[in-house]
Amino acid sequence: MAPTANRTITPSQLEHLLAAEPYLIDDHDLSDNSAFLRLMEAAERQQFTQSFTERNLAPGEIVFREGEWGDTMYIVWSGRIAILKGDLDTPTILAMRGAGEIIGEMALLENQPRSATIVALENLRLMGLNRQKFHQLLKDTPSVSLSILEILSARLRKSDEARSSGQLSEKQLISQVSALQNEKQRLEALQRLRDETSELIIHDLRNPLNTITIALKMLSVMLPEEALIANRDILDVAKANLERMQRLVDSLLEVSRIESGQAQFVLSEFSLKELIEEVLERVSIVERKGIRLSAAISADLPPLTADRERIERVLVNLLDNALKYTPDNGSITLAAQVQDDEIQVSVTDTGPGIPPEDRQRIFERFAQGMGEKPRRRGFGLGLAYCRLAVERHGGRIWVEPGDNNLGSRFVFTLPLNP
């Protein structure tokens, strides 16, 4: 069966794509797409909904071909697509994608041919935005322009990181070609296998989490305003808990990367006071057990130079740990002050406390206090991440009894001049 006006692949070509899909490893991070949806939220709701046009395709129909000129970006509302390069009889299958994917976005920014062919694998519903209407959005919302540059910069950075990671992996494989000579080498190989298996599990978890993130973002963008207002609390709780799950997955990946020396820390100057206030506000959405959250921040706290994202995760992990063990109607205090040439930050709770024999061990990966009876099971990753991140900054972290020997106080330091 020949293609109809070159816009439909043959049944055999479609069958080949569908047969390949279950065997295709598709490690995809949708965070950039989520950023694009946040970008669209900046526009007026009425303008945004009027700017998009709907397009529906049947299985086998071609959205656009590699090399074609186009001026439209699409959001996949429902259905699945294949991203291909080369001849359609023997294509290189780059990926399979589903709802929430954004395709062809570069057509909004430059007049260049399409870099791949997109084919519908199922009944496909697309929301399209052409360059003319997009430029009108830019004109009506000037702040959108900077956001676009940030998104493109993030994509380029991730591409470069992936390339560097691939080169590193190739070198590691070459070095492992020779046979293992002794027991130490065999144990090291088992450790690497464990780490590689962990990373595979992490990627399997990240994909559905990213899809859920995109689904929530699409609801926030497309639902009527009155429906958003009526369901704001539910959406906030869903987003906050989704962020918590994402942090758990990211912590496992980050622990492995920091231990192996592959993690890169990016230092910048920021206000620790503002960061603490942001973290406390976010955590308060998730936990509503009558626990009192408070901050005690020194008035003369200077700007901090550190990796802001990783310090934020340290604070969130320590607060999550405190919330896990603090009883209802208890209290948690996050304090920060200057001592000599460093900043000291502490999280104090009114939980059961940690026995002296466990105070060092709990900062190891997969470790939990033997003398405690946690109300929730966990993997002991949060505190391990905190130790590694703080020590990479040149700081220290420890735990001690809280006020009047009640609860625990987790303390870490960061140098003022890293």
List the pLDDT tens digit at each of the 418 positions of the chain: 333 446 899 999 999 888 876 555 555 555 555 555 555 555 555 555 677 889 999 999 999 999 998 889 898 888 999 999 888 888 888 888 888 788 887 777 777 899 889 999 999 999 888 888 877 777 776 665 556 556 655 655 655 555 555 455 555 555 554 545 566 666 666 666 666 656 655 666 666 777 777 777 777 777 788 877 888 788 777 877 777 777 677 777 777 777 777 778 889 999 999 999 999 887 765 555 678 889 999 988 999 999 999 999 899 889 988 988 888 889 999 999 999 899 999 999 999 989 998 888 888 865 554 444 444 434 457 888 899 999 999 999 999 999 888 999 999 999 998 7
Same domain, 343 and 391: yes
**The two structure tokens encoding residue 197:** 């298996």
Of 264, 287, 310, which residue constitutes the final position of a domain?
A: 264
CATH number of the domain where residue 224 is located: 1.10.287
Side-chain-facing half-sphere of 78: CA atoms under 13 Å: 5
Give the burial string for 47-76 (b: 16+ CB within 10 Å, else e).
ebeebbeeeebebbbbbbbbeeebebbbbb
Dist CA 413 CA 189 (whole Å): 35
Dist CA 260 CA 94 (whole Å): 29
Nearest to 334 by CA among 315, 347, 325, 351: 347
pLDDT at 4: 41
Dist CA 50 CA 156 (whole Å): 31
Nearest to 348 by CA among 377, 366, 376, 325: 325
Same domain, 366 and 251: no
Q: How many domains does the chain have?
A: 3
pLDDT at 11: 92
Nearest to 98 by CA among 114, 110, 83, 116: 83
Dist CA 197 CA 93 (whole Å): 25
Residues in the chain: 418
Please, are residues 407 and 353 in contact by the beta-carbon 8 Å criterion?
A: yes
Backbone φ and ψ for 330, nearest 5 degrees, come out as -85, -165
**The two structure tokens encoding residue 76:** 């996949």
pLDDT at 379: 43
- CA torsion angle for 379, 355, 402, 407 (degrees, to 10)? 60
Q: Distance between alpha carbon 196 and the CA centroid of its chain, in Å?
A: 19
pLDDT at 19: 85
Same domain, 75 and 136: yes
Q: Distance between alpha carbon 231 and the CA centroid of its chain, in Å?
A: 24
Residue 155 lies in a domain: no
Burial class (CB in 10 A: 0-12, 13-18, 19+), 356: exposed
Please, are residues 96 and 103 in contact by the beta-carbon 8 Å criterion?
A: no
**Boundaries of domain holding 182:** 178-264
Nearest to 170 by CA among 179, 180, 162, 181: 162
pLDDT at 65: 93
Please, are residues 357 and 227 in contact by the beta-carbon 8 Å criterion?
A: no
pLDDT at 318: 93
Instruction: Map residue 266 onto helix, strand or coil.
Output: coil
pLDDT at 378: 44
Same domain, 282 and 365: yes
Residue 152 lies in a domain: no
**Which residues, listed in sequence order, are joined to residue 269 by a DSSP beta bridge?**
305
Residue 5 lies in a domain: no
pLDDT at 22: 58
Residue with tokens 């009114």: 350
Of 205, 236, 264, which residue constitutes the final position of a domain?
A: 264
Same domain, 16 and 78: yes
CATH number of the domain where residue 135 is located: 2.60.120.10
Backbone φ and ψ for 389, nearest 5 degrees, come out as -65, -45
Residue 229 lies in a domain: yes
Same domain, 317 and 253: no
